[in-house]
Amino acid sequence: MVDRRAYWIWMQHGLGAGSTKPLRILRSYENIEQFYHSGEESWRLEGIFTTKEIARLSSYSLEQAQAQLDFAEKLGQQVLTLDDPCFPSRLYQIPNPPCVLYIKGRLPDLGGERLAIAMVGTRHASGSGIATAASLSYDLAKAGVVIVSGGALGIDTAAHKGAIRAEGETICVLGCGIDFNYLMSNAALRESVARHGALVSEYPPNSPASATTFPVRNRIIAGLCQGTVVVEAAGKSGSLITADFALNQGRDVFAVPGDVSRVVSRGVNTLIQTGAKAVWRARDILEEYGLSAKIMQEPMRMDEIRREPAEVRPLPDDASPEASLVYGCLTQEEQPLSALSEHAGLDVRRVLAALTELELLGVVRSYSGKRYSL
């Protein structure tokens, strides 16, 4: 017998991530099975599906969808669908909720007035940006707030770590299948997130990350939360896409003001210019929701997340192009040589040459095991 959830996996495959059509179908039909059995001719008469979408719906079988469901559960992933009572209710309030969510860990209860805040920002964060994101997340998590982010280097990593250090709950929304080994340097962090909350993705197992999956994913990060905080973002940044989703979903947007002379401050300062609320402390955010009394006074020690807010030296103008490229991949988080090679798109030999140049310039730190940071 076919599991009801297989019908939603079938639809997700046919319509793709980010479609507004599943919600319309859910409101127009008694259930997903009725839509499936209405058949191809009926789908054409609906007048809302493209030829490509109808072809994909017709060519992907329920048996394939059921196999996908079975495989996900074999991997230990929970599978929630749009009509499931446990599906996060806030996602019904956005125009394009996912048909399916694959979950590893335990999804925090986001019902009622439980506050969830998205914390996002640049992968190439400064020491002060890392410290700010970690401190805000720590204090918010201590106050019972769920911290949501995307698991990337930089601000995302600091946000997750701050919540975990506070023994709070955090959600990492991925732009690939949960089992896909994206960003190996953060594999341990993802496991820790799964123990303190959940890894979440709308993409099935084995789905790779791509340039298109992350922007679409960002609507879920914003959609799970009442507000989104941006900590350091350049003028063009994925975190600004998340902020746009939040605004379009009628959610709050906060931004941490930055030094006007720095590239990573341009995006956040523009957000503030256009109406985002400037915040410096967790209290600033909690006050917006009437929760300021919950703030804890126990400060977070920054060394507990392996982060010393040391000054980052800027890259001299005469650095070689490859040194500049590798410098752009470095953060204050230690990274192995293999990860830098992957991020820079250069072979290990060329990355080592660039790192040697950066060490001579005094702008990179090296550690045992061929690990490097700013």
Query: Digits of tens for pLDDT over the chain (374 positions)?
Result: 889 999 999 999 999 999 999 988 888 888 999 999 999 999 998 889 999 999 999 999 999 999 999 999 999 999 999 999 999 999 999 999 999 999 999 999 998 889 999 999 999 888 889 999 999 999 999 999 999 999 999 999 999 999 999 999 999 999 999 999 888 888 999 999 999 999 999 999 999 998 899 999 999 999 999 999 999 998 888 899 999 999 999 999 999 998 888 888 899 999 999 999 999 999 999 999 988 666 554 555 545 544 434 455 667 767 788 888 888 888 877 888 888 888 888 888 888 888 888 877 778 887 777 888 87
Q: What is the pLDDT at residue 306? A: 46
pTM: 0.79
Q: What is the pLDDT of residues 97-120, one digit of tens each?
A: 999 999 999 999 998 889 999 999
User: What are the Cα distances from residue 141, in Å, to 163, 199, 298?
Assistant: 5, 17, 12
What would be the CATH architecture of the domain defined by 116-305?
A: 3-Layer(aba) Sandwich (3.40)
The DSSP 8-state label assigned to residue 109 in this structure reads -
Full DSSP string of 288-356: HTT-GGG----PPPGGGGT---PPPPPPPTT--HHHHHHHHH--SS-EEHHHHHHHHT--HHHHHHHHH
| H helix or E strand, kind and range, residue 146 | strand 146-149
Counting beta carbons within 10 angstroms of the beta carbon of residue 130, is it exposed (0 to 12), middle (13 to 18) or buried (19 or more)? Answer: buried
Spell out the domain ranges in the chain.
4-74, 116-305, 321-373
Q: Which residues of 246-263 are buried (b: 16+ CB within 10 A; e: fewer)?
A: bbebebbbbbbebeeeee
Main-chain phi, psi angles of 30, to 5 degrees: -65, -35
Q: Does domain 321-373 have CATH number 3.30.870.10?
A: no
CA dihedral 151, 154, 160, 161 (to 10 degrees): 130
